[in-house]
Amino acid sequence: MHATTQAILPYDQHLHRFPAYLQQLEMESNGKSITRDGEAVDYNTGTVVWGEPGINGQHAFYQLFHQGTETLAIDFLAPCQSYHPIANGHHHRLLLANSFAQTEAMMCGKIENEVRTELKSQVANDTKQEKLLPHKIIPGNRVTTTLLFKQLDPKTLGSLFALYEHKVFVQSVIWNINPFDQWGIELGKTFAGKILSELEQDGAVSSHDSSTNGLMNYFKANQDSR
């Protein structure tokens, strides 16, 4: 569906590291460009995954969701019950209200007639109204998925792991790639061994490309020798 990345947005602080887990799961598994048959793929694989807890994200990157030019897959995760019902649950209702409001706003947006009516009641100057108009139009039709569950107990957490892990496996089958190897990472580790031995030796390095030589030599000249 032409989505360039997958955003994971948990509205529960207990899941604040869940997006990082899914980064490893998805990008390490399906970041492949060769099929099981050894042929180069001619389609996109390995979605870029990222995210933050919801309220943090709202003040960081949700603007791009609403009015940016990128198409993204966006997952909202939220529990109905909180382990910390502050103010008789008001705090959690406030949290969930923001979650539901963001997905509704991404779906509905705000069309020109709505913006024009709003501006007429807020801004007296007609010229200023017309100047503000295009900036306040929200296109909407942003696709989101909400996973709403009763409580984040061990069974639910395990179900979330299983859901995303199964999704990654199914994607690998559709793309005909092997999700169970990581030769790219292994190459980096191989290079690291040689670089480490050279960093621990005296003298300038010249055995790599000019960029890597420059980085290594700058580090050797400026490292803390204590």
Active site residues: 28, 59, 189
**Helix axes 210-222 and 183-199, enclosed angle (nearest 10):** 50
CA 126 to chain centre: 40
In 77-176, alpha helices (H): 90-108, 112-122, 126-136, 154-175
- For residue 90, what are the contacts with CB-CB under 8 A and spacing of at least 6? none
Smallest Cα–Cα separation from 61: which of 108, 8, 107? 8
